[in-house]
Structure 1
């Protein structure tokens, strides 16, 4: 495309080969009409070639756009998959201890830990009524203090 020459003031593109000047005026008219026909045919060929190149470039651009979109999607999916946390995170200390043991021993350790967790949870649930009683006593004392008309230093007052 960079090699395409602009049309001359006569309207045809100049031929790249040097021409000899015609000897007579009759030869000049026949050579100019033949030269114009050749130039027109050459110009039509160049236009057709350029149209083919433009069509080819358009097709290649569309293919590149489609390929770029799929590459972008694939890269995004793989990047998100890399950031996704694992389904069952392991503690590094457990990994080392479990690595040397068999699966049965690892399952046994997990069962023991689960039993300990269950017993601690049951103990916390059993202690809840006592905690609830203490909380009720504290709330009653606070209400009692609020009923008293005592001046409380502003540092200890709640902002409302």
Structure 2
């Protein structure tokens, strides 16, 4: 049994619903304007927080450039040694990156083989068959 509302009560309810709809529309508009900026700044701060901290580059002359000492003499030999060390470091880093990428690419295969071996070991542990005496361990006392 529904009770019929009067026309004034219906109008008040309609006005209230219209106000609610307007408020929701305003909130949606506000969210649409502010949310992308908030997401962008949050994402940027998360990426910044996860970025590794690298040591600052050494403050020296460019590799191969002469480095004057306190006496005014030029030390180009040290510059050459620094350049060679930099090249060695770059080569070592390149090799390390190659090894890491090859290890990462081989990981699924290794995991699959590990799971297979573990399942075989579990199957052997649950096996209750007769084991030949040649394969049994001798007890030491």
Greater Rg, structure 1 or structure 2? 1
Higher relative contact order (CA 8 A, sep 6+): 1
Q: TM-score, normalised by structure 1?
A: 0.32
Q: TM-score, normalised by structure 2?
A: 0.36
